[in-house]
């Protein structure tokens, strides 16, 4: 089976995984979100301040949590579904009604990660939590990730879209329809018109919209018949903060957490900002940085370690030690080793390790025999 066939099969299964949704044919309402009380101007860096006289809100155990998970780097490597699952579990442990904000800065990555991302983010929603995407940059797989959130907010210089299929140069027909359908369905799962997702995938899928002057309702078209054009048939659709807000694809614009919480209408005194998401992100970031530093050194140790001594036993010992440490890294950061560092799979390393141990054993026997 070719790699492209595998990807197409994966995307077809992804469509089948999605729960039944009301298909948004030619129009969509603004992103759905829980009813919000009057917007608050309260600062929120660690806690959202309680209103005067709010005794119940003063008790930390009564406050719900706001989990903010930065998602940066390549989807499937630095940006992992595993971290989203971790935050999902934390939110579920705190009980229904938490807020989860995924802060995205990514140029895309591996389509193979998509099913797990879907499972994690839809799991957050199914747990009764409010899922929000906050966009610094969400291109390709980063945009695909953001689409699962019913609410999307942009930073002022934020961008989102251009969900390309990397398979050589240009638009590839094999598996193209499955890919486009998967993106359209994901867009609908977030409460938006599938036409938007299709225009992000394929430049020739046009997009325009009208705004009802009385109700404010936005109607999208897969043509340029709408008053406002978003597509030019030359480039895949990529939103900026301005046009995303005008067509109500986004729910607002905010550069700081304080502004974001105010735009979201987070009630005063009912939530506190958790540091858990940042800790999850920083821990994995440090692991990736350490991996990038140590793994190349282990390769050098494998190739050259001990050669300067002229002692074959020393060389074998260095190589065995290097492989053992590489196997430890496979347990700590498999995504980095498989996709970023192109390290041989654990099974191959295990085979090499056994061969080196055998050589070491034979060398010892020869040395001991020579000593007699």
pLDDT in tens, 181-222: 999 999 999 999 999 999 999 999 999 999 999 999 999 999
Question: Structural domain of residue 239, as residue ranges?
Answer: 3-50+60-274
* Predicted structure pTM score: 0.80
Joined together, the tokens standing for residue 80 give: 């992992």
Q: Which of 242, 274, 306 is the last residue of a domain?
A: 274
pLDDT of residue 19: 41
pLDDT of residue 183: 93
Residue pointed to by tokens 């009385």:
214
Report percent pLDDT > 90 for the chain.
Answer: 68
Q: Are strands 208-211 and 228-229 parallel, antiparallel or unpaired?
A: antiparallel
Is 55 part of a structural domain of the chain? no
- Tens digits of residue pLDDT in 214-253: 999 999 999 999 999 999 888 999 999 999 999 999 999 9
Is the domain of 83 the same as that of 128? yes
Is 117 part of a structural domain of the chain? yes
Is the domain of 251 the same as that of 287? no
Number of domains in the chain: 2
pLDDT of residue 166: 53
pLDDT of residue 2: 38
Is the domain of 83 the same as that of 147? yes
Q: Which of 233, 248, 274 is the last residue of a domain?
A: 274
Burial of 214 (0-12, 13-18, 19+ CB in 10 A): exposed
Q: Report the distance separating Cα 113 and Cα 102, nearest Å.
A: 16
pLDDT of residue 153: 98
State the Cα torsion 252-253-259-265 to the nearest 10°: 0
Pick from 185, 239, 169, 177: nearest CA to 209:
239
Is the domain of 197 the same as that of 262? yes
pLDDT of residue 165: 66
Q: Which of 244, 274, 304 is the last residue of a domain?
A: 274
Is 43 part of a structural domain of the chain? yes
Is the domain of 257 the same as that of 348? no
Is 318 part of a structural domain of the chain? yes
């Amino acid at each position: 089976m070719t790699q492209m066939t595998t990807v197409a099969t994966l995307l077809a299964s992804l469509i089948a995984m999605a729960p039944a949704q009301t298909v948004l044919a030619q129009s969509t309402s603004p992103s759905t979100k829980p009813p919000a009380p009057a917007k608050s101007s309260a600062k929120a860096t660690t806690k959202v301040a309680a209103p005067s006289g709010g005794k119940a809100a003063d008790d930390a155990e009564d406050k719900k949590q706001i989990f903010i998970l930065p998602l940066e780097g390549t989807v499937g490597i630095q940006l992992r579904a595993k971290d989203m699952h971790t935050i999902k579990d934390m939110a579920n442990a705190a009980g229904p009604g938490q807020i989860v904000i995924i802060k995205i800065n990514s140029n895309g990555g591996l389509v193979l990660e998509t099913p797990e991302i879907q499972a994690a983010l839809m799991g957050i929603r199914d747990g009764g939590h409010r899922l929000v995407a906050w966009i610094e940059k969400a291109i390709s797989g980063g945009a695909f990730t953001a689409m699962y959130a019913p609410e999307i907010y942009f930073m002022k210089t934020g961008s989102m879209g251009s969900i390309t299929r990397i398979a050589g140069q240009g638009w590839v027909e094999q598996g193209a329809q499955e890919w486009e359908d998967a993106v359209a369905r994901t867009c609908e799962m977030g409460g938006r018109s599938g036409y938007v997702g299709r225009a992000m995938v394929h430049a020739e899928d046009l997009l325009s919209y009208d705004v009802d002057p009385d109700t404010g309702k936005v109607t999208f078209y897969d043509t340029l018949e709408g008053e406002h054009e978003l597509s030019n048939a030359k480039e895949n659709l990529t939103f900026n903060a301005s046009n995303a807000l005008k067509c109500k694809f986004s729910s607002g614009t905010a550069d700081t957490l304080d502004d974001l919480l105010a735009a979201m209408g987070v009630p005063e005194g009912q939530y506190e900002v958790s540091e858990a998401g940042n800790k999850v992100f920083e821990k994995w970031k440090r692991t990736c940085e350490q991996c990038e530093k140590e793994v190349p050194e282990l390769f050098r140790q494998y190739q050259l370690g001990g050669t300067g001594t002229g002692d074959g036993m020393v060389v074998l010992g260095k190589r065995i030690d290097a492989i053992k440490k590489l196997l430890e890294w496979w347990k700590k950061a498999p995504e980095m080793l498989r996709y970023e560092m192109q390290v041989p799979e654990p099974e191959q390393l295990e085979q090499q390790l056994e061969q080196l141990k055998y050589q070491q054993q034979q060398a010892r026997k020869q040395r001991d025999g020579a000593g007699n």
